[in-house]
Amino acid sequence: MIVWLNGTHGAGKTTTSALVQQLIPDSRVFDAEKVGVTLMDITPPLPSTGNFQDWPPWRPLVVETARRVLDYTGGTLVMPMTVLVEQYWREISAGLAQHSIPVRHFVLHADQATLRGRIEGDTVMGPSSFRLRYLEPYAEAARTWLHSEAEVVDTTHLTPAQAALRIAEAVKS
């Protein structure tokens, strides 16, 4: 099984995924961003798009990597990864379905002011204009398709531990 944690920057995906992994037996965290980083290391570089998710190889490589890891280890993969383009989510979820891999898709949500405050106040990564640029695309995806495709966990007033507990309980039920 895959527990996919979606949502924009500042929603708490990375922190929450580590906590979810601790609550679900036989689970591992797989950050699909590492697939994008691998593609970014190709030289000469792939055509510039501004986001590795726009590269056509990224989506099937995420599916294939997840499938291979699950074939090797079994259990559950907890995947913290923002996917705001509906077509990309459809490609990934269809690819996983072709391999009969069940997916529980969660969106960690917070209101725009909370997200902005978290990004601007981030003491680990620091304030980031890159991360702030995704607030409006997230809001648009949430309005148009994302919230209807996933189980929404509003993290505005939750700690990461509380969000993780809600997700783990939902997965176990």
Which of the four pLDDT bands, split at 50, 70 and 90, describes residue 10? confident
pLDDT tens-digit series, residues 111-131: 999 999 999 998 888 888 889
Q: Percentage of residues in the chain with pLDDT exceeding 90? A: 91
Does residue 31 register a pLDDT over 90? Answer: yes
As a whole number of angstroms, the distance between CA 4 and CA 48 comes to: 27
pLDDT of residue 123: 83
**Mean local confidence (pLDDT), 85-99:** 98
Would you place residue 109 in the very low, low, confident or very high pLDDT band (cuts 50, 70, 90)?
very high
- pLDDT value at residue 5: 98
Amino acid at 71: D
| Cα 139 from chain centre | 15
Domain, as residue range, for 132: 2-172
pLDDT digits (tens, 9 = 90+) for 50-73: 899 999 999 999 999 999 999 999
The domain spanning residue 124 has which CATH number?
Answer: 3.40.50.300
Number of domains in the chain: 1
